[in-house]
Chains A and B, each alone.
Chain A
Amino acid sequence: MSYFSLSRWLGIVAKEFIQLRRDRLTFGMIVGIPVVQLVLFGYAINSDPKHLPTAVLSADRSEFTRSILSGLKNSEYFSFVGEARDEREADRMLATGKVQFVVTIPQDFTRALMRGERPALLLEADATDPSATSNALSAINQLAQTALVHDLVGPMAVLGASPTAFEVRVHPRYNPEAITQYNIVPGLMGVILTMTMVLMTGLAITRETERGTMENLLATPATPLEVMTGKIVPYVMIGLVQVSLILGLARGLFGVPMIGNIGVLYLAVLLFIAANLTLGLTFSALAQNQLQAMQMTFFFFLPSMLLSGFMFPFRGMPGWAQTVGEVLPLTHFLRIVRGVLLKGNGFSEIGSEAWPIALFMLVVTVIGLRFFKSTLD
């Protein structure tokens, strides 16, 4: 007996390849994961987001203000999507996340400018995610110097000289000190819930099938509804415990502000947990064993992390990636959590983020029911 027989060793290698080829899902992961990661990291992720939606609240219109706005636009960081009628509307646009910035041009801006009084322009930013706004905010100061170069000619050229003809007062809202944790910690809540809820339910059901105990369970008078809901409820509770734990730590360790109503947040959490649990159940109906349920969870988790706006600014992604991101419940949940905690959002602001999660849940439930077997057929 030799210690290393080449033919014996080749036999082991060959057997491994045969088994790999038969395990389609693993094979899919071997090919799929690098491709997905490459595409997401290569094309979708951009840490220098541009064309951020901006609203204008203008109390003064002139050649100068037009020049300033077009200067903002030309910087490529700002993209004007609408005009706010009043301050309340502007506030709401920021709160619901419809816009990232609001530019406010005060009354008599032009007159003050021409008098050389160096009037101030207000730029309010939704700074919940500091990385989404930081580059745009540093670009704006440049702008003050160059925007009016073409307008301030002749006798007015003197206004263009240093110090600048007008001043930009930046007002970063919701997270004025640009503390990254304020953004990441509430976000983590969604990420952790996605991971545990989808995986745990996926495993809970496939475990019974894999161990043969499902047959026993189905042979008792227990109905499928009892089995499914009975198996889910413990995980709903686990999810709520996780949320409370994260919120407690976010407050205690990181001092994350909690401006909004916690009750509203918990309702949103319940919806989000429900969506993830139905996905886990559907995975378990599709998966043959626990390993497959885990692989499916991973396939779902990866884009959720990358495309939801958790790791990278959502608005930095190209259109197709944003579309994919809009489908994911995590994307909407992140907006809800950050909105409630940092902006003090209530029901009226989070409604537009809640229905996509509910819709996702509905579609996944329909798919799951199609595949779930109440008998062993």
Chain B
Amino acid sequence: MAANGADLVIDVHGLNKHFGAHHVVKDLALTVRRGEIFGFLGPNGSGKTTTIRMLCGLLTPDSGEGTCLGYDILREPREIKRHVGYMTQRFSFWEDLTIRENLAFVARMYGMPERKARVEQALTHLGLADRATQLAGALSGGWKQRLALAACLLHEPDLLLLDEPTAGVDPKARREFWEELHALSARGITVLVSTHYMDEAERCHKLAYILSGTMLAQGTADEVIASQALVTWAVRGGDLASLAVTLRELSAVEQVAAFGTALHVTGSEADALRQSLAPFMNDPALQWQEVAPSLEDVFIHLMNRAQATGPVVAH
């Protein structure tokens, strides 16, 4: 690592990227510390993948500057590639190579010493030693994902960039995957992971929320929630379906979402919300309780606000 990389593994600002007329990433700034698991959230087409690709030298930013692992993202993409493990959104290993062949190929691409031993070690660690001669294409989704992670870790990167690694993976495999990420983080490996899942977002040390290429919030989960100062009421009992329709009409109510047997009613102004809800709070059939807003409430709030203030093009 370069000398100035003291603690910031990713430190970029002013990143812009256009695809034709689309301004996909807008003045994006991002700082990630060593050993952090950093969650990268945002709806589809918000620029997450583009940002990750710019960080690892697969795309050249139109403007902006910064460092990744202390290397300049514009001038030293090859050095960055050498020390970064990038896991693509779609399984991108060779389905017509066996598991061992895939790992051996990756090992050669990174010019690793003692390739054979490292590959065997990775196979054992993966628990795939006895299936090493199977074609990668024959693996199930969860196993493909584990193989991809193992291949990304083979050259012992300092930074992992994971683009929606758990899409289409079952809950058990997902949990094991996150345990592995935390173990890596404990060893000082930094992880930037994009995801759609709220439970995964909550497992991250830090979060960033990006929408239409613009960074809307950044910090720990608590900081992100606190930054929007939302008030959420949970209501139970009565005819919740028709209540939801009525509540959505109220101007102080921003979101009404069903959570099992309860409705979560969220607004950004506490007093106005309380006043609007007052008539319903008197209804004896309903039980009201103020609860902490969830990350999801915050993200939907951010999306709605962006939609209200400016055009949001999802593509």
Contacts and interface: CB of A to CB of B under 8 A. Distances in A.
Interface stretch (B87-95, B120-128, B181-189): B87-95
B78 A212 contact: no
Contact of A377 (B60, B82, B91): B60
Judged by DSSP, the binding face of B is loop
A45 B94 CA distance: 46
A377 B59 contact: yes
Interface in B99-125: 106, 109-111
B93 A213 contact: yes
Interface in B136-165: none
Interface residues of B, number: 22
Contacts of A218: 58
Interface in A7-22: none
B56 interface: yes
B59 A221 contact: no
A220 B57 CA distance: 10
Interface in A236-253: none
Nearest to B92: A216
B205 interface: no
A220 B92 contact: no
Interface residues of A, number: 15
Nearest to A216: B92
Interface string A203-214: 000000001110
B165 to A, nearest CB: 14
A219 B86 contact: yes
B274 interface: no
A151 B114 CA distance: 92
Contact of A212 (B56, B59, B84, B90): B90
Nearest to A219: B86
A216 B95 contact: no
B94 A213 contact: yes
B92 A215 contact: yes
B161 to A, nearest CB: 9
Interface of A: 211-213, 215-223, 375-377
Interface string B63-101: 000000000000000100110101010111111000000
Nearest to B137: A211
B203 interface: no
A143 B80 CA distance: 80
B53 interface: yes
A213 B59 contact: no
A41 B94 CA distance: 44
Contact of B109 (A215, A222, A375): A222
B151 to A, nearest CB: 9
B110 A215 contact: no
A219 B94 contact: no
A375 B60 contact: yes
A220 B88 contact: no
A235 B203 CA distance: 49
B90 A219 contact: no
Nearest to A218: B58
B59 A220 contact: no
Given A221-B110, A376-B59, A215 B82 contact: no
A221 B90 contact: no
A212 B92 CA distance: 5
Given A218-B58, A221-B81, A212 B88 contact: yes
Given A212-B92, A215-B58, 14 more contacts: A212-B91, A218-B58, A219-B57, A219-B58, A219-B81, A219-B86, A220-B106, A220-B109, A221-B82, A375-B58, A376-B53, A376-B59, A377-B59, A377-B60
B106 to A, nearest CB: 7
B59 A375 contact: yes
Nearest to B85: A219
